[in-house]
Homo-oligomer: A and B are copies of this chain.
Amino acid sequence: MPRYKLVVEYDGTPYSGWQFQDNARSVQEVVERAITGFCGHPVRLHCAGRTDAGVHATHQVVHVDLERAYRTDTIRDAANAHMRDEAVAVVSAQPVTEAFHARLSARKRHYTYRILNRMAPPTFDRERVWHVRQPIDVARMQEAADTLVGHHDFTTFRASQCQGRTPWKTLERLCVERRGDEVQVRASSRSFLHNQVRSMVGTIVLAGIGRWTTEDVAAALAARDRTRCGALAPPHGLYFVGVDYAEGSDVPPEVE
């Protein structure tokens, strides 16, 4: 069966998260139905990174197996035509070999967290940013972030219901940047624990607004204790923004 890699973009606001759930509308269900709508058979999508309810994606990657080959433009346009009223779009499609797996072939995942840092409430981005009124000192917040970069036991920054095998992860990047009224945090890692990005952001913001010191953040990490997490940032500021794959894993199949 021909396999395709799709890049999917979605506003997470109206959905229960990526993953299929009974009694709730998931992004997975919306996209699977749209693809079934034009190819006429049930399909199963596999994604690079599951997102929780309210979390957005500008660059989610999925793969899907279809019963016959299609032009990639057809897949993109037909899928989009079948979800016209949804806040979800297939941005691109490309053929890949069966060696490609959206989740298993991923080598690095990238998230961006958006904070609106001003007194006035958001207008354009009500469900798209975390509104923090206290002035954030970006240099202090970056200093706190630096203590989390590297190979650590991230138990403190992991949801209690997280099902990951190990709390040890290598955080490759945690960068804090101000752009006018907005503070953005960029996080990159091979993989993340459940709620890890939101837990880290919620905690380093405490340093940014002066309620915690860098040492407090370092001590929370060292404690390996979920109750020491500073705060969990809300889901609606979080965006899944990209995935790196092992070189060659997503090459198109050779034409026979």
Contacts and interface: CB of A to CB of B under 8 A. Distances in A.
A89 B10 contact: no
B73 A120 contact: no
Interface string A61-86: 00000000000010011001000100
Interface in A110-168: 118-124, 126, 128
A120 B87 CA distance: 11
A232 interface: no
A120 B80 contact: yes
A138 to B, nearest CB: 20
A89 B11 contact: no
Q: Which residue, of A11, A84, A88, A124, has the highest number of chain B Cβ atoms within 10 A?
A: A124
Contacts of A118: 91
A97 B77 CA distance: 57
A73 B123 contact: no
Contacts of A128: 124
A58 B91 CA distance: 28
A58 B182 CA distance: 14
A73 B84 CA distance: 43
A90 interface: yes
B120 A76 contact: yes
A33 interface: no
A55 to B, nearest CB: 13
A124 B58 CA distance: 9
A21 B126 CA distance: 26
Contacts of A120: 9, 76, 80, 89-92
Interface in A1-54: 9-11
Contacts of A91: 118, 120
Interface of A: 9-11, 56, 58, 73, 76-77, 80, 84, 87-92, 118-124, 126, 128
